[in-house]
């Protein structure tokens, strides 16, 4: 019984290995030192120049004979070029991914992810404008765990935001500690 299980396990491992190899042969992934692929006639073919700049986001599908571009955000592949008779022909759908230029190639994000990023960026810009319209600026500092707990606790007690509480603390310190600077130093 144990020998039979060992044989079945060995057969399964061989089968899984063959499937993995076949799956890898379906695609050619490009590397710095490997910017070519074998076509159906086993001839070495070069890829378009712009693929070299972003090689990790491209692959060649041998079944469909198409070059595919990966979105860096959702990691979905989009068909962008068809390989036929030794040449690449543009087949991309502009509603899915944008073609920038012959030099830079295709956009790093698909249209959907790019739209989401633009919305996030505009919301971030809007928040920054709202903050500056209140007469303030964004200022990032590292605060100890004890101080952040203190700020959060007292802000909750006073029913204000942590930002307002921190600003109120600085206002009190500034009012009670007048600083005077003497600029009597002569220029030499």
Task: Give the pLDDT of the chain (188 residues) as one tens digit per residue.
Answer: 555 556 566 666 665 555 444 445 788 898 888 888 887 777 888 888 898 888 899 999 989 999 999 999 999 999 999 998 888 899 999 999 999 988 888 999 999 999 999 999 888 887 776 665 566 677 788 989 999 999 999 999 999 998 889 888 888 888 888 776 665 555 44
**Side by side, which strands form the sheet with 87-90?**
27-29, 58-61, 66-70, 77-84, 87-90
Whether residue 91 contacts residue 69, with contact meaning beta carbons closer than 8 Å, is answered with no
- Give the pairing of strands 77-84 and 66-70: antiparallel
Half-sphere exposure of 24 (CA within 13 A, CB side): 7
Which DSSP state fits 79? E
Count other Cβ atoms within 10 Å, centred on residue 32.
8
Q: Is the pTM of this model over 0.75?
A: no
DSSP state for residue 26 in the 8-state scheme: H
Backbone angles phi, psi at 66, to 5 degrees: -125, 145
Helices 145-157, 162-176: axis angle to 10 degrees equals 100
Q: What is the DSSP letter of 132?
A: H
Identify the residue whose tokens are 């790019």. Answer: 114
């Amino acid at each position: 019984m144990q020998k039979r299980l060992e044989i079945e396990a060995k057969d399964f491992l061989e089968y899984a290995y063959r499937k993995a190899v076949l799956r890898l042969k379906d695609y050619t992934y490009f590397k710095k030192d490997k910017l070519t692929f074998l076509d159906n006639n086993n001839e070495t073919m070069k890829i378009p120049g712009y693929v070299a700049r972003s090689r990790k986001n491209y692959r060649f599908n041998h079944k469909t004979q198409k070059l595919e571009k990966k979105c860096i955000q959702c990691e979905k592949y989009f068909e962008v070029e068809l390989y036929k008779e030794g040449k690449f022909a543009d087949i991309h759908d502009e509603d899915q991914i944008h073609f920038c230029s012959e030099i830079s190639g295709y956009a790093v994000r698909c249209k959907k992810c790019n739209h989401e990023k633009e919305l996030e960026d505009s919301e971030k810009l809007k928040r920054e404008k709202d903050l500056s319209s209140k007469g303030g600026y964004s200022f990032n500092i590292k605060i100890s765990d004890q101080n952040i707990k203190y700020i959060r606790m007292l802000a909750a007690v006073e029913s204000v935001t942590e930002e307002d509480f921190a600003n109120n603390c600085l206002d009190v310190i500034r009012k009670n500690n007048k600083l005077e600077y003497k600029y009597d130093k002569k220029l030499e």
